[in-house]
């Protein structure tokens, strides 16, 4: 993530002293000195510079929180803490540095910080694993006695510092963490002189680490003892670890248990224990945070007495036992708790060490514990309690930033008395309200061994209302009392909002404009799971609910998206996806229980096959078909784009829609799609559909036109594609209503001469480049088939079949001849000179009539003949083609041996004076009508 450095501003700083509450001091910050920009990458290391018990110390950065970027080569560049506020401690960060900044910490002796112009977290902090123990020690400490530059050593000895670590410091942390943390010195180095001063603590640590051979790692601690006279150094400084398993760097200017244990607490990941003081209230109104001023706790001010680690800090470390704390919240209701002293050992039955009160935001925790003069807190009942701290039940709150724990004053004073008020325990038999009234605690009795109290959280919705500011807040006053069901799902109505709470969703409120939508669709939406969020695309906002979300923009209004539609919309990218924002509420009650919802660029449809988006040209085309009630029904899958020519398709219950910019959206339904699929869909020869499927044709037929052809269907013939010249030829015959009827097979190409054919109910269409497409139908095709179809002597047809001749006859011309048909004579082919001779006789209307047999060749002298209804036609190369008809002349010629007798005819039979005659190769036959005589001459 890219982080932009925020501008720094002067802040109120607090000075710590052992005997007095801190006083505010305002410092003016000069502008950063100009310097060339520089980019560095390294680990963000943060630490606390802590004051001594009798010092005033300004700290730096964020109160007393200091920040460095430590690069791989060991350089540590100090940066203003607020400039890296969005980066996690221990994370790897890339920062662009500007000039130097003279801030509070530099005024206190540290080197100036470098201004951060931009920062980017490039790797998250790694959680350290528990380090293996060395003997009983799992937190290994290296102690180095070190003199900063120009600072003389003091009388403190190495043995005294080692003894402090191995003795009371180790004992304290082992006891307070129940053995989870055992400190011990594993190496020590006596006084050494550093070349760096207190202004550069990382240089001090670096030189000491090199001298001692120390390396960082889980459970590895480097502790420097600096002379007490090193006034430009902090009383103590410790880096912040990421968990109880971490190691770290620290230095101290005293061997007191309190300061060493305090800095080790920072190494383990703890912040400070401070106090909140408010003007006459526990935690509201005009308040201040008094840094370090939880005087009970080791992470508070460093003084000679160390109390039991408070339960907020123990929970932060994860060492509070599972049964130590009673958890109370709006989910649990009131609780009666018996607390034993927090310093006690084992818990007697029915008692607790603390009360953990979870606020309505689910994040903030309030804690109750009983402080009594026993164990680690025994000093509370002795003269060592020089501040007069009370025994009793104390109240703390979890903290943020520099403070892990915040002590609250249960007997608050007015502002004028803050400096004198160290009394903080809860009084007996007096209800104490805090957290905006969301919790009330009453201590009923306190003895040396236990404190009995009652904790009453506000009702669930009242707690949410209080967290939002109560009656003076945006929700206003109560107008409808809280109601809860058996599952503890509660709601209440206020002037300007409805408040909800459940164990699974927590506390939320819904206000206008989302509230009006919730009231319409409460059953589908359920309870809110988050607050209203703004800043979406197109000035949009949304609020999440159990069943979906409510979205608002100025252009689209406010609409809920729920159930399957919400899941499908989310999968598409929400408002950033292909659909955009909702523009209507959901509408249900469609066929088969369907629902719809319109969005800016599409529609979500819910039907028997689930919820699917239909958008763009596909949606427009689907609407034209009648949407879910039309020919396609509901969508059954998501649209798929990226097809040929930029096309898209989507499947529906009864077919599919295909779209391209050039063809628009067209439906492909029923059997018509089968033939298209066999052709390879849009990638095949047919391409995309250019019309929808159209039915209602003869015999229940349907058709659909495509870029490269047409698909025809009928129940009897099936579904087949037609294209090119074959389709054009079929159209000329009258398509399915003509002589051919519906196609019954796919086109077949690769015939002789590059031809193609396609079969139909009433025949076939043949095509070749030279002849075009011609229909072959009825008996005319039989003679052509006997000739070998296009591969025979006739070749391809050059005309369609033509009927309406004499006696119901038909003919069809082919490349190599003609086929003639009549019901009486059958279907026969004529070709060559025989056909020419027959045409000269007048064809079927002439002397011969229709052919009645196929031509016969191989006669004498290479001749051929063919029979007709009223004679025959004979041909030879020498004589040509001439008819011989039945009658006296023809009969005599036959009796004489046909062409083997008188030879082939040289002319047709003709009329002569008194009779008829016909000339042949070897003579002429003349018939005399009067006598019936036949003369040969």
DSSP-derived secondary structure for 310-359: PHHHHHHHT-S-TTTEEEESTTT--EEEEEPBTT-SSPPTT-BSEEEEE-
Reduced to 3 states (helix: H, G, I; strand: E, B; else coil), residue 98 is strand
Q: How far apart are CA 763 and CA 740, in angstroms?
A: 6
Q: How far apart are CA 825 and CA 153, in angstroms?
A: 139
| CB neighbour class for 563 (10 Å; exposed up to 12, middle 13-18, buried from 19) | middle
Q: How far apart are CA 126 and CA 87, in angstroms?
A: 13
Q: How far apart are CA 694 and CA 752, in angstroms?
A: 36
CA 776 to chain centre: 61
488-536: pLDDT as tens digits: 999 999 999 999 999 899 899 999 999 999 999 999 999 999 999 999 9
133 pLDDT band (50/70/90 cuts)?
low
pLDDT of 55 = 61
**Degrees, nearest 5: CA angle 772-777-781:** 90
> Torsion angle of alpha carbons 483, 486, 488, 493, nearest 10°?
-20
Other residues' Cβ atoms within 10 Å of the Cβ of residue 488: 14
**In 251-310, which ranges are continuous DSSP H helix?**
257-267
Nearest residue to 326 via CA among 296, 371, 366: 366
Nearest residue to 340 via CA among 226, 447, 474: 447
Nearest residue to 299 via CA among 170, 410, 405: 405
813-827: pLDDT as tens digits: 999 999 999 999 999
Nearest residue to 300 via CA among 336, 335, 273: 273
3 pLDDT band (50/70/90 cuts)?
very low
Q: Is the dihedral of CA 389, 394, 395, 401 positive or negative?
A: positive
- On whether the CB atoms of residues 384 and 305 are closer than 8 A, the answer is yes
Q: How far apart are CA 310 and CA 43, in angstroms?
A: 31
Nearest residue to 545 via CA among 531, 559, 565: 531
- Strand (E) or helix (H) holding 96: strand 92-101
Q: How far apart are CA 163 and CA 17, in angstroms?
A: 27
Residue 417 per-residue DSSP state: G
Kindly state the average pLDDT of the residues 475-480. Answer: 97
Beta strands of 608-701 (E only): which ranges? Answer: 610-615, 640-641, 648-652, 655-660, 664-669, 694-695
Kindly state the average pLDDT of the residues 673-698. Answer: 92
- Contacts for 705 with CB less than 8 Å, ≥ 6 apart: 689, 690, 691
Number of continuous H segments (helices) and E segments (strands) in the chain: 15, 60
Other residues' Cβ atoms within 10 Å of the Cβ of residue 366: 25
Q: Is the dihedral of CA 166, 167, 172, 174 positive or negative?
A: positive
The answer, yes or no, to whether residue 13 has pLDDT greater than 80, is: no
Kindly state the average pLDDT of the residues 398-404. Answer: 90
22-60: pLDDT as tens digits: 223 233 334 456 557 899 999 999 998 888 776 644 333
Residue 790 per-residue DSSP state: G
C-alpha distances in angstroms, 131 versus 137, 242, 743?
Answer: 10, 14, 83
759-782: pLDDT as tens digits: 999 999 999 999 999 999 988 888
pLDDT of 131 = 63
DSSP, residue by residue, 183-213: EEEEEEEEEEE-SS-TT-HHHHHHHHHHHHT
| CB neighbour class for 350 (10 Å; exposed up to 12, middle 13-18, buried from 19) | exposed
- On whether the CB atoms of residues 257 and 164 are closer than 8 A, the answer is yes
Residue 616 per-residue DSSP state: H
- Residue 503 phi, psi (nearest 5): -60, -25
Least confident span in 1-5, 31-35, 267-271, 334-338: 1-5
The answer, yes or no, to whether residue 10 has pLDDT greater than 80, is: no
Q: How far apart are CA 305 and CA 298, in angstroms?
A: 8
Give 70's Cβ-side CA count (13 Å radius): 20
- On whether the CB atoms of residues 784 and 776 are closer than 8 A, the answer is yes
pLDDT of 102 = 83
pLDDT of 53 = 73
| CB neighbour class for 641 (10 Å; exposed up to 12, middle 13-18, buried from 19) | middle
Nearest residue to 615 via CA among 568, 662, 654: 568
pLDDT of 197 = 95
- Residue 838 phi, psi (nearest 5): -65, -40
CA 413 to chain centre: 54
Residue 268 per-residue DSSP state: T
The answer, yes or no, to whether residue 580 has pLDDT greater than 60, is: yes
| CB neighbour class for 437 (10 Å; exposed up to 12, middle 13-18, buried from 19) | middle
- Strand (E) or helix (H) holding 876: strand 871-876
Mean per-residue pLDDT of the chain: 91
Q: How far apart are CA 284 and CA 276, in angstroms?
A: 10
Residue 636 per-residue DSSP state: -
> Torsion angle of alpha carbons 133, 137, 138, 141, nearest 10°?
-120
Question: β-pairing, 432-434 with 439-446?
Answer: antiparallel
Q: Is the dihedral of CA 643, 648, 650, 654 positive or negative?
A: negative
The answer, yes or no, to whether residue 443 has pLDDT greater than 60, is: yes
pLDDT of 64 = 66
Q: Which pTM value belongs to this model?
A: 0.69
- Strand (E) or helix (H) holding 518: helix 514-525
Kindly state the average pLDDT of the residues 457-468. Answer: 94
Q: How far apart are CA 602 and CA 582, in angstroms?
A: 9
C-alpha distances in angstroms, 847 versus 672, 746, 803, 853, 868?
Answer: 52, 44, 20, 16, 9
Reduced to 3 states (helix: H, G, I; strand: E, B; else coil), residue 380 is helix
């Amino acid at each position: 993530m890219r982080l932009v450095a925020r501008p720094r501003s002067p802040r109120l700083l607090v000075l710590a002293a052992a005997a007095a509450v801190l006083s505010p001091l305002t410092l003016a910050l000069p502008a950063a000195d100009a310097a060339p920009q520089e980019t560095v990458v390294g680990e963000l290391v943060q630490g606390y510079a802590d004051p001594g018990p009798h010092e005033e110390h300004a700290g730096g950065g964020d109160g007393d929180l200091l920040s460095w970027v430590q690069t791989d080569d060991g350089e540590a560049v100090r940066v203003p803490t607020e400039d890296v506020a969005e980066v996690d401690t221990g994370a790897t960060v890339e920062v662009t540095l500007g000039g130097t900044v003279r801030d509070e910490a530099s005024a206190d002796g540290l080197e100036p910080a470098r201004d951060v112009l931009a920062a980017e977290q490039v790797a998250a902090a790694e959680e350290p694993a528990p380090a293996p123990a060395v003997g009983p020690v799992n937190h290994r400490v290296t102690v180095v006695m070190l003199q900063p530059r120009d600072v003389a050593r003091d009388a403190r000895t190495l043995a005294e510092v080692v003894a402090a670590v191995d003795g009371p410091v180790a004992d304290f942390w082992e006891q307070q963490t129940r053995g989870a943390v055992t400190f011990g010195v594993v190496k020590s180095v006596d006084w050494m002189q550093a070349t760096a001063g207190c202004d550069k603590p990382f240089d001090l640590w670096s030189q000491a680490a090199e001298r001692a051979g120390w390396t960082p790692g889980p459970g590895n601690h480097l502790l420097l003892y600096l002379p007490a006279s090193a006034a430009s150094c902090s009383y103590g400084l410790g880096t912040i670890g990421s968990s109880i398993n971490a190691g770290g760097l620290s230095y101290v200017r005293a061997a007191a248990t309190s300061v060493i244990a305090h800095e080790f607490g920072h190494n383990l990941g703890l912040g400070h224990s401070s106090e909140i003081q408010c003007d006459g209230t526990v935690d509201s109104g005009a308040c201040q945070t008094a840094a370090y001023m939880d005087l009970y706790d080791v992470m508070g001010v460093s003084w000679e007495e160390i109390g039991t680690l408070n339960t907020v800090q123990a929970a932060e470390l994860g060492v509070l036992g599972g049964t130590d704390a009673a958890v109370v919240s709006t989910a649990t209701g009131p609780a009666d708790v018996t607390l034993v002293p927090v310093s006690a050992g084992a818990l007697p039955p029915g008692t607790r060490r603390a009360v953990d009160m979870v606020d309505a935001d689910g994040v903030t925790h309030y804690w109750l514990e009983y402080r009594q003069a026993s164990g680690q807190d025994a000093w509370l009942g002795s003269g060592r309690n020089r501040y007069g701290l009370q025994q009793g039940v104390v109240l703390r709150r979890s903290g943020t930033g520099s403070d892990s724990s915040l002590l609250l004053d249960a007997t608050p004073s007015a502002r004028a008395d803050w400096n004198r008020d160290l009394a903080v325990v809860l009084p007996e038999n007096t209800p104490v309200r805090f957290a905006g009234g969301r919790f009330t605690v009453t201590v009923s009795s306190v003895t040396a061994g236990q404190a009995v109290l009652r904790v009453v959280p506000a009702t669930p919705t009242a707690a949410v209302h209080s967290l939002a500011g109560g009656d003076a807040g945006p929700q206003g006053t109560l107008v409808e009392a809280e109601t809860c069901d058996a599952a503890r799902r509660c709601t209440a109505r206020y002037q300007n909002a409805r408040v909800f709470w459940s164990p699974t969703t927590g506390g939320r409120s819904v206000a206008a404009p989302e509230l009006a939508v919730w009231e319409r669709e409460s059953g589908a939406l359920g309870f809110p799971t988050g607050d209203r969020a703004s800043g979406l695309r197109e000035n949009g906002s949304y609020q999440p609910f159990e069943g979906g979300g409510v979205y608002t923009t100025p252009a689209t209004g406010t609409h809920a998206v729920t159930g399957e539609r919400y899941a499908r919309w989310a999968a598409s990218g929400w408002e950033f996806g292909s659909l955009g924002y909702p523009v209507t509420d959901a509408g249900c009650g469609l066929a088969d229980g369907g629902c719809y919802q319109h969005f800016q660029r599409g529609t979500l449809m819910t039907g028997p096959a689930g919820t699917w988006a239909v958008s763009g040209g596909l949606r427009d085309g689907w609407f034209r078909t009648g949407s879910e009630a039309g020919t396609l029904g509901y969508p059954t899958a998501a649209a798929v784009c990226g097809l040929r020519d930029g096309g898209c398709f989507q499947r529906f219950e009864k077919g599919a829609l295909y779209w391209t910019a050039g063809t628009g959206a067209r439906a492909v339904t029923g059997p018509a799609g089968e033939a298209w699929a066999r052709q390879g869909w849009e990638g095949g020869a047919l391409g995309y559909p250019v019309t929808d499927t159209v039915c209602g044709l003869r015999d229940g037929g349907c058709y659909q036109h495509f870029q490269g052809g047409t698909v025809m269907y009928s129940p009897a013939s099936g579904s087949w594609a037609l294209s090119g010249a074959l389709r054009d030829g079929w159209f000329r015959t009258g398509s399915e209503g003509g002589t051919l009827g519906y196609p019954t097979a796919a086109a077949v190409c690769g015939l002789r001469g590059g031809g193609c054919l396609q079969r139909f109910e009433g025949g076939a269409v043949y095509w070749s480049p030279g002849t075009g497409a011609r229909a072959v139908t009825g008996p005319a095709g039989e003679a052509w088939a006997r000739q070998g179809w296009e591969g025979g002597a006739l070749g391809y047809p050059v005309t369609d079949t033509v009927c309406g001749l004499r006696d119901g006859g038909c003919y069809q011309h082919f490349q190599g001849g003609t086929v003639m048909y009549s019901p009486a004579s059958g279907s026969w082919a004529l070709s060559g000179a025989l056909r020419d001779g027959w045409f000269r006789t007048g064809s079927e209307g002439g002397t011969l009539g229709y052919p009645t047999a196929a031509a016969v060749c191989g006669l004498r002298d290479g001749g051929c003949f063919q029979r007709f209804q009223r004679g025959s036609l004979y041909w030879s190369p020498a004589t040509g083609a001439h008819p011989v008809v039945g009658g006296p002349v023809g009969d005599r010629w036959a009796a004489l041996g046909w062409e083997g007798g008188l030879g082939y005819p040289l002319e047709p039979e003709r009329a002569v004076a008194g009779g008829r005659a016909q000339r042949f190769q070897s003579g002429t036959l003349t018939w005399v009508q009067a006598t019936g005589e036949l003369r040969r001459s």
